[in-house]
Amino acid sequence: MPMEPSAKILLADDSPAILALVSEILRDAGFGVIEAHDGQEAIEKTYKENPDLLILDYEMPQKSGFEVVSEVRSRTGYLHTPIIIFTANTEKSTKLQGLGLDIDDYLTKPADGDEIVARVKLLLKRNKQKMDCNPLTRLPGNPSIQARVEAAISGNKPFAVLYCDLNNFKSFNDKYGFEAGDRVLKQTADVLVQAARQDENSFVGHIGGDDFIIVCDFNKAEPIAKEIVTRIDEIAPSFYDEQDRTQGFMLAKNRKGETEKFNFLAIGVGIVHNTKRPITSFAQVSHIGAELKCLAKQHPTGSYYVIDRRTE
């Protein structure tokens, strides 16, 4: 299946014949191709065109493929751009030379057209997944979340979306520090992933901060929510020091700089679903989810979930 046309490949080679052949292979597979005839032109066009992936000849005039990689990797915006080195040199020493340059793959000339396309597709897919994942929890981020919700909407089957948000997380972070806060987020993610296993086809994503989302079969939504709120309330005291655990609350500064008593961390879950009224867009799901999540967070003590029971 061809990649979407917006995927752009920079191809740099000083051989006009190889440049023409590989360009044709890539274009036939659905890629946009940016051609460069030497290393310096490859660098200039990389910064100008911002390609999704680079294929660089090992030996080129002006700058070699390795020199291009070294220059491009020095720019923050290109640290994760996939790079393939195209070489006729099969010596191990060549690959060893490039070990410190973060090169993603090598292709040996003459390369088979199917292999070129397969390698490019694999690297683009891996890079998309890597860039989409939250670096802390390793859960999928917003592009994958939206795609999964929209797939559920178009599936015309009963589904639910659980919006999950921690209570009192900011005050906890302020008192205990970001390292402790990161541990809370990781364990929250683990709880959500474990609970979501009640539906083998469920999806768990990390919207950002202390906001998470689960997409699942409607019939599994409440059991999953019940497990989440129960488990979070069980582990919440373990995040606090002995004094706070003993007194059952935490003293910390509020947004006005005043000392305030805060309950232990808890989670609010809002359950959006399509069994009472039609759901037609991701924006609609987000709006309803935000409302329900806020209602759940208003519960005076502990974790709580709210399911949408409105018909219009």
| pTM over cut 0.75 | no
* CATH superfamily ID and name for 142-307: Reverse transcriptase/Diguanylate cyclase domain (3.30.70.270)
Q: Are 26 and 117 in contact (CB under 8 A)?
A: yes
Query: Measured between alpha carbons, how far is 256 from 186 in angstroms, rounded to an integer?
Result: 29
Instruction: Note the pLDDT tens digit of each residue in 24-64.
Output: 999 999 999 999 999 999 999 998 888 999 999 988 999 99
- How many residues would you count in the chain? 312
Domain map (residue ranges) of the chain = 8-132, 142-307
The reply to whether domains 8-132 and 142-307 share a CATH topology is: no
Q: Is the pLDDT of residue 309 over 80?
A: yes
- Give the E-state strand segments of the chain in sequence order: 8-12, 32-36, 53-57, 83-87, 105-108, 159-167, 203-208, 211-217, 250-253, 259-262, 266-273, 304-307
Instruction: Note the pLDDT tens digit of each residue in 225-260.
Output: 999 999 999 999 999 999 999 998 998 777 777 788
- Range of weakest confidence among 77-81, 91-95, 133-137, 227-231: 91-95
Q: Considering the domain 8-132 in this protein, what is its CATH number?
A: 3.40.50.2300
Q: Are 8 and 32 in contact (CB under 8 A)?
A: yes
> What does DSSP assign to residue 6?
T
